Structure 1
Amino acid sequence: MIRFLLLFLSLYFIGFASMISQPIVGVDEDTATIKIDNIDVGMSGFIVKHIDSEHSIILKNAVVSGFDKETKTATLSMSDYDALKQNSLPNGKWDVAVGDEAVLAFGYSRALLIAPNEEIYHRITKALPTLEWVHPDLFATVLSFNGHPTPLKEDFYNMCSVSSVGLLYFYIHENLFTLDCKSMTILQITDAPLKQESLQLPFYSRVEKINANWFGEGSDELEAYDPYYYELLVETNPKNKQLYDLIKNKEQNLTSLLNEFDIKDEK
């Protein structure tokens, strides 16, 4: 089973490891469209305007919000680009236009894994040796600086932005979840029945203690691994039918999370 898992993960990674670059073919306020044979909804990136042969500028963040298989058209939701803020430099007034470049799956060669213990962490990271793994020690240090022993959605987003991490993995109760690190959209759910003999909260790292704020969201110590990270996945993927079915069929008492989904005729 472990060998099959390693092979499956390796093949899947090869399928979306390359950065995608396509010209914008349509713009409508905060959305843009590109033509592409296939793409995963939730992939993130940005929009680039080429000023001349040697100069270009990033205009917007972009996330794939829809894909029409019939027309081979992907819809991109755009928002302000916030990865490289520099208030001392002048800002251009360019708008996104047809012909600009959409760069997606940026940073998919770098990944962060949230795992319940050291053994599972090493098994999964060794399964994908071509990925550059950002060690969870770095994330734990960021959480300590923020005073969040319980990691929040925005903590993951900020970590991904400043570290150029494209993929976020969660190992939760015999399943490995592959997410786009910025949009936190699930790209893949893989069965991974690895033996778990220990648990480290809030996740495996070599940081002995994460400092906590006096009050506020994220300041409490995380008490339960599986329920919390399932809740985080549901919050960011309320329409994911595969996640819904997985939680529905789990032996753990997670039925309350089913009410958080936006799936009609399933509850």
Structure 2
Amino acid sequence: MRYIFLTILIQFNLFAGLVGAKIVSLDLENESAKIDIEKIDVGMSCYVVHHITPEHSAILKSCVVESFDAATKTAVVKMSEFDLLKNNALPSGKWEVIVGDSVELAFGYTRSLLIAPSEEIFYQISKSIKTQWIHPDTFATLLSIHGHPTPLQEDFSNLSSASSAGLVFIYLDKKLYTVDMKSFKILAISDAPLTQDSVKLPFYSRVEKIETSWFIFGEGSDEMQSYEPHYYELLVENNKNNKTLYEIVRKSTNEEVHSLINEFEIGE
């Protein structure tokens, strides 16, 4: 089993620690910034940090890596409001993002969640990747609190905020997807030729049943009907230009999965 996951381990080492880079230019009209960086993955979530003094700093924006140019060693990050630590009872600063501010990437990438269809696959994968795992029971409990037996992207984002976890690994059809838990962008797709004899919905955990709530309606409130189509749908929704995912969906023999081909935004 260790040989099957050798490529996964090699790729995961790239996410082993927090990465910092300086903003070299700003495009305020498009709420984006350019940073100098040796190598980074598109889809990584990050924060813009403004240093008020050498000893004091403040997080001003959340952001996601939008593009990376290997020739110039630069990346563009798309910025959005940072509201993770929002507290209306406390005063907030009026600082604006400026050239020279820091972008901190890969926060929480040493803590991960694994979505697997069975106990056997869960333990085979979790023992093959060196990371600090968030047990799926924790996620199942969070879903029960919100009455979501079918997990949504916002549920993964909420878990990320609550546990400071940055990555989610999703096993689908003999492949393992490494996904940024906040942006839900695919960072890597690795072959994982494991035998799948059973499926537990919505994913393997020791929680027997994820509770619903009679006063919660809408997306996520119904029981999940099938494993692969749901997680493929979440991945496609947030990776519409991913050519590798496009080819996987195009070749799928599962009609529900194959129908997602129309959701991509890939030109001829």
Q: TM-score normalized by structure 2?
A: 0.95
Q: What RMSD over aligned residues (CA atoms) do the two structures have, in Å?
A: 1.1
What are the superposed Cα offsets for residues 99-158 of structure 1, whole Å, 9 maximum, x if unpaired?
A: 1110001110000011101111111111113x0000011111111010000001111111
3-state SS of the aligned residue for 1:83? Answer: coil
Task: Return the alpha-carbon distance in structure 2 between the equivalents of residues 127 and 206 of structure 1.
Answer: 20
What are the superposed Cα offsets for residues 164-208 of structure 1, whole Å, 9 maximum, x if unpaired?
A: 111111001111000111110001111111111111000011111
User: Aligned pair 1:231/2:233, yes or no?
Assistant: yes
- Indicate the residue corresponding to 1:152 in structure 2: 152
User: Aligned pair 1:247/2:246, yes or no?
Assistant: no
3-state SS of the aligned residue for 2:154? Answer: helix
Aligned residues: 263
Given that 2:4 and 2:193 are in contact with CA atoms closer than 8 Å, whether structure 1 keeps it comes out as no
Given that 2:24 and 2:33 are in contact with CA atoms closer than 8 Å, whether structure 1 keeps it comes out as yes
User: Aligned pair 1:89/2:108, yes or no?
Assistant: no
Residue correspondence of structure 1 range 59-208 to structure 2 within 5 A: 59-129=60-130, 131-208=131-208
Given that 1:83 and 1:162 are in contact with CA atoms closer than 8 Å, whether structure 2 keeps it comes out as no
- Which segments of structure 1 move beyond 4 Å, counting only runs of 4 or more? none
Q: Percent identity?
A: 54
Task: Return the alpha-carbon distance in structure 1 between the equivalents of residues 220 and 253 of structure 2.
Answer: 27
3-state SS of the aligned residue for 1:77? Answer: strand
**Alpha-carbon shift at residue 11 of structure 1 (Å):** 1.2
**Alpha-carbon shift at residue 250 of structure 1 (Å):** 2.0
**Alpha-carbon shift at residue 16 of structure 1 (Å):** 2.5
Given that 2:15 and 2:110 are in contact with CA atoms closer than 8 Å, whether structure 1 keeps it comes out as no
The range that moved more, 8-17 or 33-42, is 8-17
Unaligned runs of 5+ in 2: none
Residue correspondence of structure 1 range 16-27 to structure 2 within 5 A: 16-27=15-26
Given that 2:114 and 2:169 are in contact with CA atoms closer than 8 Å, whether structure 1 keeps it comes out as yes
The code of the aligned residue for 1:206 comes to R
Task: Return the alpha-carbon distance in structure 2 between the equivalents of residues 5 and 84 of structure 1.
Answer: 40
3-state SS of the aligned residue for 2:171? Answer: strand
What are the superposed Cα offsets for residues 221-256 of structure 1, whole Å, 9 maximum, x if unpaired?
A: 001001111111100111100001011112222321
The range that moved more, 48-57 or 209-218, is 209-218
**Alpha-carbon shift at residue 17 of structure 1 (Å):** 1.6
Task: Return the alpha-carbon distance in structure 1 between the equivalents of residues 175 and 9 of structure 2.
Answer: 16
- Indicate the residue corresponding to 2:219 in structure 1: 217
Q: TM-score normalized by structure 1?
A: 0.96
Task: Return the alpha-carbon distance in structure 2 between the equivalents of residues 26 and 206 of structure 1.
Answer: 49
Unaligned runs of 5+ in 1: none
In the alignment, which of 248, 261, 264 is matched to residue 261 of structure 1? Answer: 264
